[in-house]
Amino acid sequence: MTSPEQGRLAGPLSMSVANLCHRLQPQVSARTAAGFAEVLRRLGAPLQVAVAGRIKSGKSTLVNALIGRRVAPTDIGECTRLVTRFQYGTVDRVEIVFTDGRKQVLPFASDGMIPAELGVDIERVSHIEAYLTNAVLQGMTVIDTPGLGSLDAASVSRTEQLLGAAKHRKEEDDEGSDELDDTSRNAVAGAEAVLYVVTQGVRADDQQALAAFTAATASREAGPVNAIAVLNKADTIAPESVEGSGGDVWKAATLLAEKQASTLKPRVADVLPVIGLIAESAESGGFTSADADALRQLAELDDDVLQTMLISADIFTSWECDVPAGTRLRLLEKLDLFGVSHGVEAVRKEPEITAGALRRALLDASGLEAVRQRLAVVFAARADGIKAAAALASVTALAHASADPAERQRVHDAIEVLLAKPEAHQLRLLEALTLVASGAVDMPEDLSEEVLRVGSNADIGAQLGKPGAPRPELAAHALERAGWWRSFASFGATPAQSRVAHVVHRAYFLIWQQVRDA
Ligand SMILES: Nc1nc2c(ncn2[C@@H]2O[C@H](COP(=O)(O)OP(=O)(O)OP(=O)(O)O)[C@@H](O)[C@H]2O)c(=O)[nH]1
Ligand SMILES: [Mg+2]
Q: Looking at residue 70, what is its pLDDT? A: 94
Atom of ligand 1 nearest to the CA of 232: 31
With b meaning 16 or more CB within 10 Å and e meaning fewer, what string describes 1-21?
eeeeebeebbbebbbbbbebb
> Atom 21 (ligand 1): residue with closest C-alpha?
56
DSSP, collapsed to helix, strand or coil, labels residue 196 as strand
**Of 56-70, 141-155, 438-452, 465-479, minimum mean pLDDT range:** 141-155
Q: Confidence class of residue 439 from pLDDT cuts 50, 70 and 90?
A: confident
- 138-156 pLDDT, tens digit per residue, is 988 998 987 765 445 565 5
Q: 171 falls in which pLDDT band (50, 70, 90)?
A: very low
Each residue's pLDDT tens digit, 407-431: 999 999 999 999 888 888 888 888 8
Going from N- to C-terminal start, the domains of the chain cover 4-168+178-275+369-380, 287-354, 425-517
The DSSP symbol for 108 reads P
> How far is residue 223's CA from residue 217's CA, in Å, rounded to a whole number?
10
- pLDDT, one tens digit per residue, over 57-106 is 999 999 999 999 999 988 776 666 788 999 999 999 999 989 888 999 99
Q: What is the CATH number of domain 4-168+178-275+369-380?
A: 3.40.50.300
The preferred substitution site among 55, 61, 334 for testing ligand 1, maximizing ligand atoms within 8 Å of CB, is 61
CA of 302 to the centre of ligand 1 (A): 31
Ligand nearest to the CA of 286: 1
For 330-347, write each residue's pLDDT tens digit.
999 999 999 999 999 999
Highest mean pLDDT among 362-366, 444-448, 491-495: 362-366
CA 275/CA 334 separation, integer angstroms:
11
Cβ contact 279:62 at 8 Å:
yes
pLDDT of 360 above 80: yes
What is the per-residue pLDDT across 219-234, written as a single tens digit (0 to 9) for each? 343 444 577 899 999 9
Half-sphere exposure of 287 (CA within 13 A, CB side): 29
pLDDT tier at 175, thresholds 50, 70, 90: very low
What's the confidence (pLDDT) of residue 438? 67
